[in-house]
Structure 1
Amino acid sequence: MCGVAGFWQPGGGTRDSLLEQVRSMSTRLIHRGPDDGGNWCDESAGIALAQRRLSIQDLSPAGHQPMLSACGRYVVVFNGEIYNHLDLRQRLLAEGAAPAWRGHSDTETLLACFAAWGVERTLHVCVGMFAFALWDRQQRALTLARDRMGEKPLYYAWQGHTLLFGSELKALKAHAAFRADVDRDALALLLRHDCIPAPYSIHRGVFKLRPGHLLRIAADTPRDAAPEAYWRYNDAVRAGLGNPLPGSDAEAIDALEEQLGASISAQMLADVPLGAFLSGGIDSSTVVALMQARSSRPIRTFTMGFGEAGYDEAAHAKAVAKHLGTEHTELYVRPDDALAVIPKLPSIFCEPFSDSSQIPTFLVSQLTRREVTVALSGDGGDELFGGYNRYLGARTTWERMRRLPPFARTAGAGILRSVSPDAWNRWFERIKPLLPKRWHVATPGDKAQKLAGVLPLSSGHAFFLHLASQWKNPGGIVIGAHEPTTLLTDPDAWPDTKILAQWMMAMDAQSYLPDDILVKVDRAAMANSLETRVPMLDHRVVELAWRVPLHQKIRDGEGKWLLRQVLYRHVPRELVERPKMGFGIPLDSWLRGPLRDWAEALLDENRLRQEGYFHPAPIRQKWNEHLSGRHNWQHHLWPVLMFQAWLDENRGTSP
């Protein structure tokens, strides 16, 4: 796990100037790689590469980067892990294409594969998470590439005659050529999604490479050349739906346990201490259970608790850890500990990002890094196996809604909105003992407000976009913004499934997962110099998941049915069966309490008007309603606050 950076100015440059600039870029990424750093340049070509290394495999100098291929043609800076690289070495050996190995790093394996097979074939056979920049000294061409599911980040931008690239935006901004204004259109995306989806960034003309894509650039390549896809998620969807798993439930459970277990075994390979995040939920418990089944020693597991009702999973995680026999560490965080993270967020994420679970994710990463260098995570289970509440009965819910006449749906929405979330919560608590267990949900008041929002909608796709949005009209909040097209609003990018629940899962896996969840985990963990690995996002697990019929994912009103059956082979169901709980913080009450003065300063009406990014009136209205307790607008206010905090740290950026 590392940070990469570099630039290419095709006109060439002096060695000293190239190295000075690229060192400045890589210095901003020391948190991603505190163990080692390296720089390389070719002054005649004007190319400079840098890498900061967090040593995981081959801790010797043989793993140092930038690394040249044995044949001398290629130079690479690489961030990530190739989990099957030892198998690839055997394939190279069998073909007579193996070089005289200098060490046992996966970077060296990758270079040998490029030399023997070329870039695209290598990408197709690699199993892993990665982002890299590869310079071909013979062709004088640069290739940027990112892994299939988007675990590792890569930004790029033409600034004048210079192409900049790096793992984080802060590396690009360290280069003297960087000049980019705030992209108001991207700001509108932030208000809708809590993140800025690829390929956009907060700066105009600065892009994120999409998952599963590569960008090839030669001296004569047009500046607006589009990246190419070498792997498409929708192809996996199409292939899986066209070739469903045959056989019984038991055979499907066996198939999933075998493939997921193989992925976990490969991802447990490291030359440094390794552990896992454990929340006590289905996903992380499954990963830990399969890890422990493959280890002769107790696995290190880590959990963070808040001690506040509705937000604390530590007791559940402790019970799972005790049953599995892991070496478990838990930390109960005080509100002051979490509040202390907030001023660091603009620097950690380097562009506005407003999924508030960024705060506990940073804290659990900080805890974990005290003991281990690598942690496995359970992310991806919801998107692959139907875990989010919005999937459960999605098609049935929509079909029932559309049967109602428009006036009835509008009236129903009005009734739901007329009662505050707190009042709904109190009423729900009174009748909870009378309700079936599957109806026991967290924050029912917020869910009532969400239902009020979807009742008047006219299509299943609009239904999903609404559920995936915070501000429903961000173009009307950001001054001068024209919200760009994203996967969710581009029909040409939609997977060709006719079932709403499956469509929602496929869209989440291509938008919410890489642009929110994986960004959150990568930045929060790497800010603590912790490598995270996500076994469920092995593309072979993804492809298998799409062969699983929907009735083996969602059954009897419960999501992740198949994944649960794998877990129940290792953990009693009573230890993990409970309503789904997000990894969150009590942000709504904090904004009315300890964060009130901080938020008030950022949302000051005069400030908003002078800065000229937002129309103040709708923001101030929501802030006042939130303070009154009548509505919980935390999800609308937090993206505005995160942009304002980011703006404070980036005062040199013009409107």
Structure 2
Amino acid sequence: MCGIYGTTIRYKKQEVETKLNRISFRGPDKMGVSQLESDDNLVTLGHNRLAIIDLDPRSNQPFTYNENIHIVFNGEIYNYLDLKKSLGSKGYSFKTTSDTEVMCAAYMEYGEKCVDYFNGMFAFVIYDKKKQILFGARDRMGKKPFYYYINGRDFEFASQISAIQLFNKNLSISQKSINNYLSWGTIPDPDTIFNEVKKLKAGYSFVYDLKSGSYNQKPYWDLDYKGTNLYKGSYEDAKNELESILSDAVKIRLFADVPVGIFLSGGVDSSLVAAMATKATNEKVKTFSVKFDTKGFDESAYAQKVAQHLQTDHHVIECNYNEGIDLISNLCEFYDEPFADSSAVPSLLLSKHTKKHVTVALSGDGGDESFLGYHRYNWMRYVQKAYGLPDFARNILVNGLNIIPYYKSKVIANVLNNKNINDAYLGMMVNTKNHLLVNTPDLSDLEERKYLYHENKNIYERISDFDLKTYLNWDINTKVDRASMAFSLETRAPLLDYRVVEFSRSIPTDFKFNKNNQKRILKDILYKHVPKEFFDRPKSGFTMPFKVWFRNELKDYVLSELSDEGLKTIPGIKIPEVKATIHEHMDGTANKYPTIWALLVLKQWLSKNAAGLEIK
């Protein structure tokens, strides 16, 4: 895990080093810069290294293979030893024990199709000096970030947007992205907060031709959203096959030349990863969880129970209020653009203290999306029944819900007021009727709609696919990558191994969601290792107690930041409606902390970045 950078712009080496220093927390072990000139083209490659595999300086980047292949790479290729053996049999030789060198050889052997052979999390760029091209790709599930800027013959890329932002005088802030952010809570790919900077989508590769200045990208992998690859075996067969895949996914992610640990929340997914890890190694596994002092938010006891059963070396990290506030005030230093998932704060705290013990941590991310674990999937059962009613009956239900003086009833009514169940789910994920915005986002051009708006699968499989391509990629992966890399900690997610994801897409829905039993198949595998009674409780999220804090400890802060003058600095919002929303939260009428948090984060980012930039 590292920070990568590259450009065809003729920046001074000192300027490039300044850009790399801005994101040096991603890789504090070694900074490297190479300026490569050929055929009147200058390609500058930069790298901040977090040494995980082959700690020797021989594996520092930018890395050169066979004179003409130069690479900067962020991530891990978990199957690189198998690839190395295969490529060795084809005549390739290696001077290091790193996965970086293997990637170069794979590119020489397979060309652009090398990405099909990689099992890992990655964002990389290869400069092929002979062909005078830059070839790059981002991993299938979007674990690793990739930003790029193109302006004529100027091309620039980086792991974080702030590295591109420095010394670039051609940027403007996107009003469309601000509107999308206030609806989604994040900025959907491929857009960013700047009109001129884009994200490479997950599962995409690109070629930039240095001679012509042309840029072409294409998908090399996608979900089977048409449902063509269906599993034919029994439930027991599927359970055994999935356990085998999961076991290997965990095992290959435990390989490192530095200490490795596990994030353990005490929920199904992280407990399963921890159980698999303890089975895969003879060493005592280190586990880490967060403890909150606020009533109703502390679930560290559940993690402790699992840790004791698995006999791990468990560490409980107390969420300190003052430490949390300090991270809030510096949030945009790590996230670079507005990001409204408030669990970013406990994720930062968890990463900060975990780094004191290990350099790599495995997480349970991806289980809910692939195996139908979120509350909203269960709730869609009732929504589906409502959409099975005649229109007049559903209208009566909506009108009745609107009369009830309870804000959650009005939220449900708003969802059921959509014309079909696809619109209803999209409305749950993004507030398309957001009364706080002058102009609500137009979602008609959202490419990811194709995973939801079709009839090839049932509604549960469609929303699962949609979440894997949107919520998981844009929110969860962004949160975890920035939070962990802020403290130079690598995170690995076995449940996001593409083999696990593809298998989850192929098995019948009732293997995952049977009556009221969500994540059925994962639970049945887990219960072979950890007692079932440990998990007989409602599912909870990884959240901060902002609902309480905003009415008490942080009330003055909120009212000061989001005063009339403060709100005037946020473009595209209806100030009277925003003030009414804040008042509703403060007087206890409704829980509006997500909206307040999103506005606070946006204002902070604008205060630090908007000076002198046009918003359009």
On whether the aligned pair clears a TM of 0.5, the verdict is yes
2:369, 2:447 → 1: CA distance? Answer: 15
Tell whether the 8 Å contact from 1:50 to 1:66 is kept in structure 2 after alignment.
yes
Alignment partners' CA distance in 1, 2:603 and 2:399: 36
Q: Which residue in the other structure is 2:433 paired with?
A: 473
**Distance across 2 between alignment mates of 1:221 and 1:558:** 56
**Higher mean C-alpha deviation, range 555-564 or range 247-256:** 247-256
The aligned counterpart of 2:371 is 385
Cα gap change, 1:488/1:473 in structure 2, threshold over 3 Å: closer, same or farther? farther
Residue 70 of structure 2 is matched in structure 1 by: 75
1:146-185 → structure 2 map (5 Å cutoff): 146-159=138-151, 161-174=153-166, 176-185=167-176
Q: Could you say what secondary structure the match of 2:550 adopts?
A: helix
Residue type matched to 1:232 in 2? D
Secondary structure at 1:353's aligned position in 2? Answer: coil
Q: Which residue of 2 aligns with 1:646?
A: 605
How much does 1:284 deviate?
0.3
Q: Is the 8 A contact 1:201 1:207 kept in 2?
A: yes
SS at match of 1:592: coil
The aligned runs of 1:255-334 (5 Å cut-off) are: 255-334=241-320
Q: Tell me the SS of whatever aligns to 1:546.
A: helix
SS in structure 2 opposite 1:117? helix
1:116: which partner in 2? 109
Residue 144 of structure 1 aligns to which amino acid in structure 2?
Answer: G
Q: Secondary structure of the equivalent of 2:250?
A: helix
Calculate the TM-score normalised by the size of structure 2.
0.95
Q: Would the aligned equivalents of 2:452 and 2:462 in 1 still touch at CA under 8 Å?
A: no
In structure 2, the CA distance between the partners of 1:337 and 1:452, relative to structure 1 (3 Å rule), is farther
Distance 1:581 1:130, change over 3 A: same
1:194 is matched with: 185
Q: How far apart, in 2, do the equivalents of 1:411 and 1:478 lie?
A: 24
CA deviation digits over 1:549-599, x for unaligned, max 9?
A: 100100121210000001000000111221110000111121112222222
Relative to structure 1, the CA distance from residue 88 to residue 649 in structure 2 (aligned partners, 3 Å threshold; closer, same or farther) is same
* TM-superposed deviation, 1:107: 0.3
Instruction: Letter of the 2:83 partner, please give it.
Output: L
Match of residue 33, structure 2, among 27, 31, 39:
39
Counterparts of 1:309 and 1:566 in 2: how far apart (Å)? 32
* Residue pair 1:74, 1:137 contacting (<8 A) in 2 also: yes
How many Å separate the matches in 1 of 2:410 and 2:243? 38
Q: Deviations over 1:307-329 (max 9, x none)?
A: 33331110000000000111000
Secondary structure at 2:190's aligned position in 1?
coil
- SS of match in other structure, 1:227: strand
**One-letter amino acid of the structure 2 residue matched with residue 47 of structure 1:** V
| Matched-pair contact (CA < 8 Å) for 1:401–1:409 | no
CA distance in 1, matches of 2:211, 2:346: 46
C-alpha deviation, 1:486, in angstroms: 5.7
Distance 1:496 1:95, change over 3 A: farther
Q: 2:45 aligns with which of 39, 49, 66?
A: 49
Deviations 1:348-377 (A, max 9, x none): 101000001111111111111010000000
Amino acid at match of 1:419: Y
- The answer (yes or no) to whether the contact 2:132–2:210 under 8 Å persists in 1 is yes
Q: Secondary structure at the match of 2:192?
A: coil
Specify whether residues 493 and 550 from structure 1 end up closer, same or farther in structure 2 by C-alpha distance, changes over 3 A only.
closer
CA distance in 1, matches of 2:450, 2:81: 41
Q: CA deviation at 1:616?
A: 1.0
1:367 to 2:359 alignment: no
Q: Distance in 2 between matches of 1:478 and 1:160?
A: 34
- In the TM superposition, what whole-angstrom CA distance separates every residue of 1:163-221 from its partner, at most 9, and x where no partner exists? 111000111012x2342111010111111111001100011121011000012111355
Point out where structure 2 has 5 or more consecutive residues left out of the alignment: none
Deviations 1:424-469 (A, max 9, x none): xxxxxxxxxxxxxxxxxxxxxx5x5542332322211111111112
Residue 399 of structure 1: aligned partner:
385
Partner of 1:410: 398
Aligned AA (1:348): F
Asked if structure 1 preserves the Cα contact closer than 8 Å seen for 2:179 and 2:572, the reply is: no
Aligned residues of 1:237 and 1:543 also touching (Cα < 8 A)? no
* Counterparts of 1:611 and 1:255, CA distance in 2: 51
Distance 1:529 1:494, change over 3 A: farther
Partner deviation per Cα, 1:27-48 (whole Å, 9 max, x = no partner):
1121000011111112341210
What corresponds to 1:28 in structure 2? 22
Tell me if 1:58 matches 2:58.
Answer: no
In 1, Cα distance between the equivalents of 2:225 and 2:571? 43
Alignment of 1:499-514 (within 5 A): 499-514=458-473
RMSD, aligned CA: 2.0
Q: Which amino acid aligns with 2:576?
A: A
Q: Which moves more between the two structures, 159-168 or 292-301? A: 159-168
